[in-house]
Amino acid sequence: MLDVLIVPNRLTRRFNDLTHEEVTDMFTQGQRVCKALESHYKADAFTMAIQDGPEAGQTVPHVHLHIIPRHKGDYKNNDDIYGDLEDSKPRSVIDNESRPPRSAREMAEEALAMRKLFGQWDTSE
């Protein structure tokens, strides 16, 4: 399952440390990502999450927005996805050490698809 991260240019530990402009930019770019992913991955919906601090499951010391395309029935209980986000060793959805590594060819194909999908990314929009 795909998990796209939106990371502000200026790294901060907590959401409240971001400026108003950085928050606006992060969510504007998140909306653009959702629009692109919705058609490409035929997503029915999206889960967007910020784990703000270690007690919220944040495993890296900077704010970032998770954008996860969702499909009907991808979880038996819809909110189970949050357990995968919080778990230090996710069960299956989020990229982790237990997931079989992708081949160089698979990664190259994915990178090409993302370049086609997003093209030149202008963050001023």
Residue 92 has pLDDT above 60, yes or no: no
Q: Which of 20, 62, 64, 66 is catalytic?
A: 64
Task: Reply yes or no on whether 64 is catalytic.
Answer: yes
CB burial of residue 69 (10 Å; 0-12, 13-18, 19+): buried
CATH code for position 55: 3.30.428.10
15 part of a folded domain: yes
Residue 89 has pLDDT above 70, yes or no: no
Domain of 29? Answer: 4-118
- 107's CB contacts (< 8 A; 6+ apart) are none
12 part of a folded domain: yes
In this structure, of 16-20, 53-57, 89-93, 110-114, the range with the lowest mean pLDDT score is 89-93
125 part of a folded domain: no
Q: How confident is the model at residue 85 (pLDDT cuts 50, 70, 90)?
A: confident
In which element (H, E) is residue 105 found? helix 104-118
98 close to 89: Cβ distance less than 8 angstroms:
yes
124 part of a folded domain: no
24 part of a folded domain: yes
Question: Per residue in 68-79, pLDDT tens?
Answer: 999 999 998 888
Q: Total structural domains in the chain?
A: 1
Instruction: Give the pTM.
Output: 0.75
